Amino acid sequence: DAGITQSPRYKITETGRQVTLMCHQTWSHSYMFWYRQDLGHGLRLIYYSAAADITDKGEVPDGYVVSRSKTENFPLTLESATRSQTSVYFCASSEGGGIYNEQFFGPGTRLTVL
Amino acid sequence: GQSLEQPSEVTAVEGAIVQINCTYQTSGFYGLSWYQQHDGGAPTFLSYNALDGLEETGRFSSFLSRSDSYGYLLLQELQMKDSASYFCAVIANSGNTPLVFGKGTRLSVIA
């Protein structure tokens, strides 16, 4: 399917477990982003990537790890999940950086950490 | 750093016009974008302004005043389906740094 997909869509895990959220896009967009969305905080950037093998921290990177070995994939790993990481996670991609480049968002992953 | 301020909630009547304001403080400025998000859905792009003035796209318009560090989204002929959250976002510092989003304005359209 064309577009940007995320998996799983829903995930329940326990404190201390490692969790990986997957993101895949079919447009060959250079830029990919991970956001978390919590009530009262809007969308906060966790990590982003300008190209394969290039990643950079966003506003709230602590507790998260990313990699980008292929242009189309940008997985997000919670190395040791905590309850504060319960959130909705959105992956996004754009053709380039900058205000002119529309970001396309995936459907989101709702993560609950017990 | 960057900060954006927008009202948390707005209520308007079907068929009316509503304006959602956004003020920002940034170190450097490259433009202002707007995104819409329905409950349970993903954000979708509405518009961007890099220069002062009004940009119109159908029932939606977006305005920017760089001198006032201010912009707004104008929705005309409101429909029930316009009930959603609306986020302003800025790019600052340099042209290729990521967007910084405001906390969003929840618009409720009532009959």
SS3 labels along chain A: CCCEEEECCEEEECCCCCEEEEEEECCCCCEEEEEEEECCCEEEEEEEEEECCEEEECCCCCCEEECCCCCCECCEEECCCCHHHCEEEEEEEECCCCCCCCCEECCCEEEEEC
Mean pLDDT of A81-101: 89
Please answer yes or no on whether B44 and A105 come within 8 Å at the CB atom. yes
Cβ neighbours of residue A3 under 8 Å, at least 6 residues apart? A25, A26, A27, A104
For residue B2, name the pLDDT band (cuts at 50, 70, 90).
confident
Partner residues linked to B10 by β-bridges: B107
Please answer yes or no on whether B95 and A43 come within 8 Å at the CB atom. no
Residue A1 has pLDDT above 70, yes or no: no
Please tell me whether residue B109 adopts helix, strand or coil conformation: strand
Name the percent of chain A lying above pLDDT 90.
Answer: 86
Residue A24 has pLDDT above 80, yes or no: yes
SS3 labels along B62-97: EEEECCCCEEEEEECCCCHHHCEEEEEEEECCCCCC
Closest CA to A93 of A9, A19, A14, A2: A2
Tell me phi and psi for residue A79, to 5 degrees: -70, -40
A54 touches A71 (CB < 8 A): no
Which residues of chain A have a CB within 8 Å of the CB of B47? Answer: none
Q: Looking at chain B, which residue has its C-alpha nearest residue A108? A: B42
B10 touches B104 (CB < 8 A): no
Mean pLDDT of A63-91: 97
A37 touches B37 (CB < 8 A): no
For residue B29, name the pLDDT band (cuts at 50, 70, 90).
confident
pLDDT for res A2: 72
pLDDT in tens, B41-99: 999 999 999 899 999 989 999 999 999 999 999 999 999 999 999 999 997 655 566 78
Residue A40 token pair: 């009262």
Please answer yes or no on whether A42 and B42 come within 8 Å at the CB atom. no
The single residue listed with the structure tokens 């900060």 is B3
For residue B27, name the pLDDT band (cuts at 50, 70, 90).
confident
**Using CA atoms in the order B6, B9, B13, B19, what is the torsion angle rounded to 10 degrees?**
0
For residue B30, name the pLDDT band (cuts at 50, 70, 90).
confident
CA angle B69, A59, B67 (to 5 degrees): 10
